[in-house]
Structure 1
Amino acid sequence: MRDHQENTPPRQEDIEADDAEEIIFLQDDLPAPMADEEDEMEEVTEEELDQMLDQYLGKDESIMTFDKHKSPVFSCSLHPSKNWASTGGEDDMGFVWNTNTGEVVHEISGHKDTVLSCTFNFDGSYLASGDIAGEIQVFKLSDGIRKVWEYSMGDMCWMKWHPSANVLMAGAESGEIYVWRIPSGDCKILPGQGHKCESGELTGDGKKIFAGYGDGVLRLWDIKNSTVISEVTSTHPLAHTDNVSTVSCDPENPLYMSGGEDGKILFVSNNGPVGSVETAGPVECVAFSTNPDYKVAASGSLHGQVAIWDHAKQSLRVTCEHNEPDDGITILRWLPENTLLAGTIQGNLLAFDGRSGQLKFKLEGHAADIYSAQYDARQQILLTVSEDTTAKIFKCPIGEV
């Protein structure tokens, strides 16, 4: 082995004064840039400079960035009438902030774990925040923002408001589903079977909950009677064989769908499964079209596939084409004009024509996974939140509903 001292540079005091002087003179003798070369340098236009900055920093097409969170942001909501947004994240914080200025209207403290849901109710009279440990707070928004109710349910997987009533719902790690009237706190508990309730969605009639569980089971619950209307267990030939990661309900008809880590999508009626399809990899999100005249549903996978299905025939209608086939899909939202919005792992927002599958537009700005999004038709804006610790507002280039 060579002596390590062979590669050790000499100490400064070992360099003789004459040698040091010579080094200085050599540096002084280096030629200066030629004047002609400076004159020949091309001027960079403002547009070219913007393009260079976009390549270096990443393009940002948002009109507002909220950066008060210190960790990834998981939940977002837009107030139905005020210029307010609410967000909740891994920093155990929730915020209400002005969508025009970014100014904080209210800080939601008191959580001791990741805030999974921080959302306004249907008419903007209440705001609910819930963390992964199951600590829930509800705030009344008239005459300021004041807490009127709280509850501790144990580890939580999801929480959602009823779309037309002051009713709050949440699925538990232990499998139960809690349903509360707000602000009285009257509670129904739909019992679990020891497996987490990974996903849940209210049906179009507002009376039932379609829920997916960690063991692959699906249950359609009657909320009023706390009973199971139908169930798909492992004994059924179409059943999921792994965790049900996502569910959706047709807003107009008694039809429901689920997506699982087994790569399967099930279509289910009140009487049980009516069909299934296989996709490319684990299904991360599913969504029925909100247009009653266009009876399709969409799915997104972490392998980057966005597919639109004819649910009457349980067949593939079209695969949406985009230039980032390995950019995994994290969320799906149907927007006006049959536009399907997909959020991705790389922070892109891809909007597809729901009929042809062609890419309509792309919005850039986030630097990592997009976790949630909400569209406001009144202002034609899109609110998004991301792993990159920010919330952003984009002007959405589609017409009003």
Structure 2
Amino acid sequence: MRNNTPPQSPYRNLEEEIIEAEDGEVIYFDDEEQALAAGSDDEDADDANDAQYEEMNLEDIEGMLGQRIPERDDAKITFREHSSAVFSCHLHPTENIAVTGGEDDKAFVWNAETGEVISKIEGHKDTVISVAFSPDGNYLATGDMAGEIQVFKVAQNYKKVWEFSMGDMCWMKWHMAANVLLAGSEVGDIYVWRIPSGDCKILPGNGNRCETAELANDGKKLFVGYGDGCVKLWDIKNTSALVEVRPNEPISHSECVSGVSCDPERNLYMSGSEDGKIMLVSNSGPVAILDPEAGPVEVVAFCPDTELRVAASGTLRGQIAIWDIAKQSIRATCEHSESDNGVTTLKWLPDQTLVCGTILGNVIAFDGRSGTRKYELQGHGAEVYDMCYDRAKGLLLCASEDSTAKIFQINH
């Protein structure tokens, strides 16, 4: 599911239809000719279809559409310009502007209050899996699975100021304190560019997919997970690995690392893997293995509130666990009744609130101390792939498989 383009929809628009006549001659019709040729037969078919739809229940309709129909829509704004799954989203740090990227090979910049399109970003030839404004808001970066990266100047009406082709890309993100862009590749190399000059350094890979990464709080180190289960803590400036935990060691992963997180205050790092285990790592090496016993771990996240030393994990089987880091044990399991509602993404909000995007499209909030369910945001009909939160405005932006992005108002 992560960073993979979903299968093409079985529903497609045919530009022409091939019909074999009684004498064996092949006849081609375009859309307009088909409509004229069909005539009254189409009207009869429409009547029959209407009667059929009236007999269909909600489950039948959901099955036909390939997505769930939510009971309600809690979104403040729904953006519908994408023609297929939306994989990535971000909010401008100061302006009421959102950006989304999707399987339609496009990114859209739009007004976060009205949903009006501000700029349509084209030039990509594959699914746009990462979009992000720089921390100062001056630049917008968009990147696709094929490794085509574009950077635009926001104040110059999104004029392109830099681009690069890196080969298949897995992730892309801005440094939190400088106009430095980082991206991980299919062969494991990590590119670090200064924008807009394009000055580059590379953290070399070993042929295994660079699956996921997160910057340490000091901005000097990068914690990285790879497709073979390896994790590394990189010194960005010196392009050297401070820590490397190889697969199948006594404390290590044996399968693809799907999520990583960095403690906001201490030199401690967390990785979750498809092997169903969570590993804690320090600047000196691996510390411990935590086993949620709930299947493949999709995502992990340290709580940014340093007074509450906890972290969260989510699995594709639907377990959401709150971990006591000091005790290296589960503090609470979130009250999540739908066992088949797998977790796709996690984000910590103010007041120690944990929000979780799910396979069914719900966004569920929990108390990060007790695991108690606080509220649920409905509106999406399929997987939530990405979330971005604006603390000042209390806005949560979500991107989904259902071809929409939604903004929810959250008051804390």
CA 1:180–1:56 in 2, change beyond 3 Å: closer, same or farther? closer
Aligned to 2:222: 209
Distance 1:186 1:164 in 2: 17
- Return structure 1 stretches of 4+ with deviation > 2 angstroms: 55-58
Written as runs of structure 1 = structure 2, the 5 A alignment for 1:51-90 is 58-90=71-103
Written as runs of structure 1 = structure 2, the 5 A alignment for 1:2-401 is 58-234=71-247, 236-279=249-292, 280-397=294-411, 399=412
How far 1:309 moved relative to its partner? 0.6
Distance 1:230 1:382 in 2: 35
Amino acid at match of 1:100: E
Structure 2 unpaired stretches of 5+: 1-67
Amino acid at match of 2:298: E
CA contact under 8 A between 2:97 and 2:110: conserved in structure 1?
A: yes
How far 1:325 moved relative to its partner? 2.1
Name the SS for the 1:142 alignment partner. helix
TM-score (norm 2): 0.82
Question: What do residues 112-164 of structure 1 show as CA deviations (whole Å, max 9, x unaligned)?
Answer: 00001111111111000000000000001113211100000000000011111
Question: What do residues 192-240 of structure 1 show as CA deviations (whole Å, max 9, x unaligned)?
Answer: 1010000111111000111011111011111111101011012520110
Distance 2:401 2:70 in 1: 17
Question: What do residues 326-348 of structure 1 show as CA deviations (whole Å, max 9, x unaligned)?
Answer: 20000000000000000000000
Aligned to 1:40: none
How far 1:63 moved relative to its partner? 1.1
Question: What do residues 297-352 of structure 1 show as CA deviations (whole Å, max 9, x unaligned)?
Answer: 10000000000111122111110012222200000000000000000000000000
Name the SS for the 1:174 alignment partner. coil
Name the SS for the 2:187 alignment partner. coil
Amino acid at match of 1:395: Q
Question: What do residues 45-102 of structure 1 show as CA deviations (whole Å, max 9, x unaligned)?
Answer: xxxxxxxxxx976311111100000010011000111110000000000000001111
Distance 1:322 1:200 in 2: 28
Distance 2:340 2:134 in 1: 36
Distance 2:311 2:201 in 1: 31
Distance 1:86 1:138 in 2: 13
Name the SS for the 1:337 alignment partner. coil
Name the SS for the 1:124 alignment partner. coil
Aligned to 1:50: none
TM-score (norm 1): 0.84
Aligned to 1:24: none
Give identity over the alignment, percent. Answer: 61
How far 1:380 moved relative to its partner? 1.0
Name the SS for the 2:381 alignment partner. coil
CA 1:57–1:357 in 2, change beyond 3 Å: closer, same or farther? closer
